[in-house]
Amino acid sequence: KAGGRARRRRPARAWLGALPLLVFAGLCFGLPAGALLYGAITRTDPVAGTTEFTGEHLTRSLQGPYLTSLTGSVELSALTAAIATVFGVLIAQAVVTSRRGALRGAVLTASGVLANFGGIPLAFAFVATLGISGVVTQLGHLDALGWNLYSFTGLTV
């Protein structure tokens, strides 16, 4: 490489250290995924005990309440992704064009805190504040206004 240090190539055996992790991940994720796929495309005859390949399970999963649930999930995902994209672009634009370092510092601090506040703690915080018996719901009498955290609007929030 001109003007820089040449990169040293690692020997192929250097990947052997990662092999146990890769095998473990393959077993933990690959086996259940394979079992689900096999169950989705096969059907066992209870009388004869034979197994045959079929698309029956997949066809049934795209009808009735399953289709309604799938459609609702995709709509919710698309809407929340669009909202997050708009807010993210606006905040990024504000940070990049701001002449004050305070905004950048505040956004970086908030990003660091919020990045570690996800999953179960975040779900609990939403339920404790905006759930049916949540503090904000009760103090603001939001339930009388028709607020429900478990509705499409509530899940979007």
126 vs 133: CA distance, rounded Å? 11
Q: What is the pLDDT averaged over residues 112-127? A: 87
Cβ–Cβ < 8 Å for 145, 139: no
The 10s digit of each residue's pLDDT in 54-68 is 989 889 889 999 999
The overall average pLDDT reported for the chain is: 89
- DSSP labels, 83-151: HHHHHHHHHHHHHHH-S-HHHHHHHHHHHHHHHTS-SHHHHHHHHHHHSTT-HHHHHTTGGGGT--TTS
Most trustworthy range by pLDDT among 12-16, 94-98, 114-118:
94-98
- Looking at residue 26, what DSSP letter applies? I
Domain positions in the chain: 1-61
Write down the pLDDT at residue 3.
58
How is residue 5 written in tokens?
């240090």
Q: What is the pLDDT averaged over residues 118-138? A: 90
When comparing pLDDT for 120 and 86, which is higher?
86
Write down the pLDDT at residue 88.
92
